Amino acid sequence: MQSAGNGWGNGLLGVVIFSGSLPATRVAVGGFSAIFLTSARAVIAALLGAALLALLRQQRPARKDLASLAIVSLGVVVGFPLLTALALLHITSAHSIVFVGLLPLATAIFAVLRGGERPRLPFWLFSIVGTATVAGFALSGGGAGSLTGDLLMVAAILLCGLGYAEGATLSRRLGGWQVISWALILALPLMLPVAIMSLPLTWDGIGAPAWIGLAYVSVFSMFVGFVFWYRGLAIGGTASISQLQQLQPFFGLALAGLVLHEPVAWSMIAATALVVVCVAFARRFA
DSSP states of the chain as a string?
Answer: ---HHHHHHHHHHHHHHHTTHHHHHHHHTTTS-HHHHHHHHHHHHHHHHHHHHHHTTPPPPPGGGHHHHHHHIIIIIIIHHHHHHHHTTTS-HHHHHGGGGGHHHHHHHHIIIII-----HHHHHHHHHHHHHHHHHHHTTSS---HHHHHHHHHHHHHHHHHHHHHHHHHHHH-HHHHHHHHHHHHHHHHHHHHHHT--S--TT--HHHHHHHHHIIIIIIIIHHHHHHHHHHHH-HHHHGGGGGGHHHHHHHHHHHHS-----THHHHHHHHHHHHHHHHHHH-
Higher pLDDT, 125 or 217: 217
* Domain ranges (residues) in the chain: 4-198+207-285
Confidence of residue 219 (pLDDT cuts 50, 70, 90): very high
Confidence at residue 144, expressed as pLDDT on a 0 to 100 scale: 52
Q: Kindly report, residue by residue over 80-128, the tens digit of the pLDDT.
A: 999 999 998 888 777 777 777 778 778 878 877 776 767 788 888 887 8
Asked if the model's pLDDT at residue 140 lies above 50, the reply is: yes
Average pLDDT of the chain to the nearest whole number: 84
Confidence at residue 115, expressed as pLDDT on a 0 to 100 scale: 65
CA dihedral (178, 6, 19, 107) positive or negative: positive
In this structure, the number of other CB atoms found within 10 A of the CB of residue 259 comes to 17
Does the pTM surpass 0.85? The reply is no
Asked if the model's pLDDT at residue 58 lies above 60, the reply is: yes
Higher pLDDT, 254 or 207: 207
Label residues 80-99 b or e (16+ Cβ within 10 Å = b): bbbbbbbbbebbbbbbbbbb
* Contact status, residue 244 vs residue 18, Cβ threshold 8 Å: no
Confidence at residue 74, expressed as pLDDT on a 0 to 100 scale: 95
Higher pLDDT, 69 or 277: 69
How far, in Å, CA of 13 to CA of 8, rounded? 9
Higher pLDDT, 198 or 236: 198
Confidence at residue 283, expressed as pLDDT on a 0 to 100 scale: 65
Confidence at residue 1, expressed as pLDDT on a 0 to 100 scale: 46
* Contact status, residue 34 vs residue 89, Cβ threshold 8 Å: yes
Region 57-74: mean pLDDT is 92
Q: Kindly report, residue by residue over 26-40, the tens digit of the pLDDT.
A: 899 989 999 999 999
Confidence at residue 3, expressed as pLDDT on a 0 to 100 scale: 64
Asked if the model's pLDDT at residue 149 lies above 90, the reply is: no
